[in-house]
Structure formats: C-alpha cells, structure tokens
Amino acid sequence: MPQRPSQALPTRAGPAGRVTTHGRSRQVGNPTGGTTTTPPVGPSVVPLSATVTWSPLARQVVEPDTLYLLDGAAERTYAAAGSGLGGLQFGVNYAPDTPFSWVTTPAGKYRTGIRTSNPGPDKGSAWMPCLGLIDPNEFTIEAWFCADSDWASIAREIPLEFHGTTAALKIVFYGSSVLLVGPTDGTTIVSYPVTAGQFVAGTYYNVAFTLLAGVATVYVGGAQVARATGVPLLPPIHDVGYDDGLMFKGHYQGVESSSHAWLSDLRISHRARTPGAPLTVSNATTITISPHSQTGPVVTYSLPGELFGPRTPATPAVTQRDACVRAQRCDHFMDATPMKAGATDATHPTPGHSGAYSYDWTTLVDPAATYCKAHGQSLHLDFAFTPSILGGASPPGVSGENATPPSSYDAFTTICTDLVYHIYNEIGLTALSCSLWNEPTGTYWSGTSGDPTVAPASQPLTGPNASYLGLYGKVMPAIKSMFPSVQVGGPEDNPTTLNATIDFCANFGLPLDYVSYHDYSGDLGRATAVRAAVDARRASKGQPAGLPLSITEFNWNDSNLGATVWRNYDYFRNDFAAAHLAATMMTCQQVGIQRLYYTFGIQSDGGNGYAALSLQTYAHGWASRNVYEMWGRLAPYLISAAQDTNGRPDIYCQASTDAATGRVTVLLAQRRYRKDGDTPVILSFSGWTPTAVTQQVIDDGHSNWADTNGLTDSLQSVAAPAIVGATVTVVMRPRSVVLLTLIGH
C-alpha cells in the first residue's frame, strides 16, 4: 500500500445533540426518539495515515488502523447514551441484565477494564456488535489480562470472543494453555503453554495475538512465545443474534466457574504488528476503479423485489415510492381466492380456462397483477397454500397458510394453470415466474408420502420431501408446457430441500429454471455458500453451473424481531437496515442472484415484530427503500473495483459504467455498527480522470425516516466530494450507503 502524507480528520463531536463531520451537521436519532450525542471515546482527530512502531508493553493509543480500544469508563458513557450507538449490552440468550449489574469496570493496567461474573446462565456477560471491528484474516489483538487465581489452575474461561453465525474467534484460558481458537470451538489456531506460578493471581499480564498471511503469533510480555503457520483463511464474522459480536464472557457456556479472568486496555488493530518494527497504517480504504476494464456481466436491475402488500390506499406517494421495485412476490393466491368446481355463480363470476372451476379473481389476484402490469413490475407466483375446496382448513379470504397437501394433485395443478392463464392471457402480464409452496420442510407442509404417478415403482419418492416433490412433478411440467416463457423453480426453502429438488428434477427430466430459497440469516456469506452448493449438486448430476438463484424472502436476522435491546425492531428500518441491504445486493450481483424479495414491501406505520418489516408505510418510506432507488440509478456495465486488503473491514463496493455517456457510478456500503468515527474511502481511478461528481447518501442524518425522527424519507444529495487528480475521497458514516455518479474521460 503506498504511503500517503499524514492528514487530520475534522473533529467528530459537535454541539449537544448534533454531530459535525466535514462541514456537515447531523442530528442523531435513537430508537426511543430524541437525539443522542456521540460519546467522547478516543481522540477527536486521527491521522489519515502514519508510520507506527509497536511497543506491546506501552500504553496504547488510537492509531489510524485502530478498530477498537477498550476503556471501561468510556463504555459506561456509551451505555448511558443509548443502545443504538453500538456500545456494550449485558446478558445473554435474550435475557438482558441491568447495565453493569454483574459486569464491573475495575482498575486496569492503564485504563479502566471490564470484568464479568456469571451468577446464572443468562447473566454476567457484556457484548457489543463486532461488525467492522475485526478482519479475521489480519489483525493484532492485544490486552492486559488478569485472573483471580493462578492461570494454570483455570479450568476454562473465555475473557474475549468474536462470535458470529458461522464463525467465531476466541481467546481461551484452558488450564495449562492460552489458546486462540477459531473458526469453531474445535479448532485451535495457536496456543501457548502455561505453567504454575508463571501467571499469578491479581496481576495484569500483556498477551497479544497477530495473524497475517496464514501465520498466527502469540506475544507474552512483548516477546514472541508461540507461532503457527498454515492457518487457513477464516470466514468473515457476521454477528446477528442477541449476544453475538465482541463478547466479554469470563465464563464458558454460561457455567459459573471458581476462577475468573478479565482484561483491560484491549486494542484491536487491522494490521498485524511486529514489536519494534515500523509499519505504515491507515484508517482509509483505497479502491482502485478501472472504467475501461469491464468485468463482463451487466447490473441486475431486476434484483429489487418485495413481498406484495395491498396498496390500499394506493396514493400517488405510495406508487411513486414503488418505482424502484422491479418484482413482486405473492404466496396466497391459492388459499385467498374464492373458487368452486363447475359453472360460475354470483360469488364466483369468472370461469377458469380449464372449464372445471370458477373463481372470484378480484380479492387478491387482479389487484396484484394489474398493479404489477401498470408499474412495469414482474410477478412471482408462489403456488401456496391448499384451497378449502381441496382440503384446506381456512376459508377463502383468510390467510390460514393451510399446510395440508391438496386432496387431489391433479385438481391443484388445474387450478394453478387456470391462475397463470388468467394473469398471462386475460390480464396480459407476461413477466411471470412460478414456484411451488412456501418453506415446505417447515410448518407449512404436513405431507409425507409422494404421488406414485410421478415416479416409477423402481424409483419411488421417499423421505421428508417426497409429497412436496410429487406435487412439483405435477404442477411445474404443466405450467411449462402451457407457458414456455414462464420461469419455474423452487423450493422456497432451506439448502436441504434445494438438494432434493435439484436431484428430483435431474432424475426425472423436470423443468427447473432457477432455485429459490429464503434468507433471514443476516450472514452475507450465505449467498456465496448457496451458489457453491447448488453448482456442486448440479455438477454431481452432470448439469452445468450457473443456474439462476432467487432469494424469495429476505431480511436481516428475524430472531431479533421485537427484542428490546440494541437490535430491536427499529433496526430493520434504520441506517443499519439500509447498509445491510446494500451489501447484500452487491453480494447477490457477484454470485448471480436474479431476484431479492424484501420482507415486506409495505406495512402500516407503528408495527412491531414482522409487522415492522417493510420498505415503506402508507405515509413514508424507510431507509432501505432508498437503497433500491440507488440500485436503479447504477450505470449498466460492471467494471473492476479492486479493494485494498489493508483497508477497513466491512466495506463493500460495486462500480459500473456507461461508455456511451462517459458516466461511472460507484455504490459503497459500510456495515460497521459502532458509531465512534467516520471512515475515509479513497477512490483511485486507473486510466480515467473524473471531471464532475454528485453524491447521494443514506446514513443517520440523510434519506432516513427512522433516524431523523421523520425529517426525510426521500433519497438525498449532499455536497460532492472533491476531485483531486484521478482520486475522489468519500467520508462514510458507520452504517451508511453512498452512491457517486461521475463524469470523466
């Protein structure tokens, strides 16, 4: 990374209730209304870059690549300021403690530390979101550790852990060793043996771990004591649960122990340090963009989707906010539509194309399909659930999510083809895709045995997916035969059902134009993992890679809905929701996902739980809706955007161009949760010079109804960053999204 002149960033803290950054003043909202002030953690001015020399035993300070520096007294200030800033939370397993009730801030080596105790399995822990606080493949983690007994006598304590959905990184005191463990409990990265009398009770000792290029090193007292090579790449740590993240545990799996270990002066640095060796570090991320180097695919403008909600009232403001949505998904046409066998009557006025059934399409089908046609949106039909005339328990118009399989697979197939015919031919909406059921391995499907007419006796359908696959084998060939241009696929479920569906379609030559699944994991690695799993499964069947994928339900981790802590329902509608959505969309673009259906499209204002999930209400939009707006403004052709590996973690970038107009767009997202400073992002253009730039921003002060306490919901432009030669520097807030539009040559 080239060395740059040391520069100073402007002061972060402004007048009470406001924050000033680079001349912009912004009011910071909190989940309960009102405003908060960024607590005074760390210096107000940090150099953009500097050459530093590490002395592990010295009092550490904030340096340009410092991702976190613990001061227990400052954490008390954060906790008092409000949970939305990303400070410490207390308790585990959705059982929050009173702040600092079982967690104390004792005197540390240089600063106040953090000490935990655990009187019960749900108490005595402290944690905070770790998004943006650790790069699992390069870091320096250093702290002063203390224990109330000889370290060699400690059975098992975990004073520090980074915990996520599929990965973890832990420092463990384990009897005769101090370990760095990851990405799971069963894998020791590097260890250091401990002997009796070496580390006595009541004394602070300096321990540091570094990782770089597969080499993990342990330092004790400033001296190297252990090293491990060949450490494999660690997955990113995506914390999504109530007590995920950076954790001060002081115990193992909630079990009270007779000994406790704690720490002070914890510093996490992005760059791996060596004692006494000068190292140039930066708090900026450099991204080299090559407008003349197209990477092949075009921007997937069809990606922004949502679960359809009735547009009543369909005001001009509602429909205007919908302009950025390209696709709608509906999964209650089958059980919500009044229908009967035979001829029409007053309550079933429209005959089906088959002549076997009559319908009232006006309840949900016609409003949704005509709305999509009028607004240029595609419609995804999810054939769920069982209608009452085929055994469903709930009457038409009641979304009972009838899980009982239809009494006749043939009759259900006929109704599906009538539905598609009505939308495709009679309404004239031809931009259609179809899938079968909703989460058939969950509570929404109660069938067991398969339809014997689908598979020959020599290959009977067996297993938990048998009855679902039997219905797929009836419905989807019929749809594809009548409407060859309509895309069909499934299974709207988890990876286990994905494999069964891929195998079934390959074995019997059935249509499968795409694979669909739901994602509420909060893990940005999930899409990449599903892409790899689908390609591998199809390869095992002699089929090519690259089958399109659709995420037909999506939001951040739904286990956090309704929680009364920092991840309460507001955080599905604020700056973090927007940053997570933007990062997810860029990941979807990379792995070939064609649709991302946000749960939900529209909800009434003031809802909680699932009723709070939406892109907009009838009165206003949320910050996430503006991400869809940004996506529609991207230039079409993707170009190379190489991110400096020494830059800050959890920053995402996608660049594209329109060579005909000379326009380049750059989409940036930062998910770092903790609000303790802004991040410079330096865009360096290769072989191309920008001459003009505009900037739209979503953060805690812009384009964000929730965090601005209702001041604005539309996508806002802010002052453009300066162009210096072939570079543009953007300063990003934690939890923010930026769209730059540039003209150049």
Last residue of a domain, one of 601, 632, 663: 632
CB neighbour list of residue 355: distance below 8 Å, 6 or more residues apart:
none
**Closest listed residue to residue 154, CA positions, set 174, 124, 171, 170:** 174
268 & 289 share domain: no
CA distance 382 to 490: 9
Which residues is 481 bridged to in the sheet? none
Residues sharing a CB contact under 8 Å with residue 62, sequence separation 6 or more, in sequence order? 42, 43, 46, 69
In this structure, the answer to whether residues 457 and 532 fall within a common structural domain is: yes
Residues 655 and 616 in one domain: no
Q: Are residues 609 and 688 in the same domain?
A: no
Please report whether residue 206 resides in a domain: yes
Q: Which tokens is 143 given? A: 């702290």
Say what the pLDDT of residue 186 is.
64
Cis ω before 313 (30° cut-off from 0)? yes
Structural domain contains residue 16: no
Helix (H/G/I), strand (E/B), else coil: 303: coil
Domain holding 525: CATH number? 3.20.20.80
Count of C-beta atoms within a 10 Å radius of residue 365? 24
Antiparallel, parallel or unpaired: β 727-732 and 66-69: unpaired
Same domain for 144 and 233, yes or no, is yes
One domain for residues 206 and 291: no
Q: 33 lies in a domain?
A: no
The sign of the dihedral angle between the CA atoms of 218, 59, 125, 133 is negative
Query: In the 3-class helix/strand/coil scheme, how is 282-302 assigned residue by residue?
Result: ECCEEEEEEEEEEEEEECCCC
By C-alpha distance, which of 438, 501, 433 is closest to 470?
Answer: 501
If one counts the domains in the chain, the total is 3
CATH code assigned at 654 = 2.60.40.1180
Taking the model in full, what pTM does it have? 0.91
Question: Does one domain contain both 684 and 625?
Answer: no
Question: Quick one: pLDDT at residue 602?
Answer: 86
Q: Tell me, yes or no, whether 136 lies in a domain.
A: yes
* Tens-digit pLDDT profile for residues 473-497: 999 999 999 999 999 999 998 767 8
Using the structure block, give the residue that is written with the tokens 């419609």: 379
Residue pair 283/65 in contact (Cβ under 8 Å)? The answer is yes
The whole-angstrom distance between residue 424's C-alpha and the CA centroid of its chain comes to 35
How many Å apart are CA 173 and CA 201, to the nearest integer? 14
The amino acid sitting at 218 is: V
Residue 6 lies in a domain: no
Do residue 378 and residue 242 come from a single domain? no
pLDDT at 460: 65
| Residues 363 and 226 both lie in one domain | no
Element (H, E) at 212: strand 205-212
Residue 568 shares a structural domain with residue 654: no
Examine the domain organization and report whether 646 and 538 are in the same domain. Answer: no
The parts of the chain modelled with pLDDT lower than 70 are 1-45, 82-83, 92-96, 118-123, 183-186, 241-243, 250-259, 310-314, 397-400, 449-452, 455-462, 464, 495, 559-571, 608
CATH number at residue 168: 2.60.120.200
Does residue 28 belong to any structural domain of this protein?
Answer: no
* Alpha carbons 504 and 618: distance in angstroms, whole number: 43
Per-residue H/E/C for 222-282: CEEEEEECCCCCCCCCCCCCCCCEEEECCCECCECCCCCEEEEEEEEECCCCCECCEEEEE
Looking at the domain assignment, is residue 528 inside a domain?
yes
Closest CA to 249 of 122, 153, 135: 122
In a domain, 242, yes or no: yes
Q: Domain span at residue 450? A: 305-632
Same domain, 471 and 591: yes
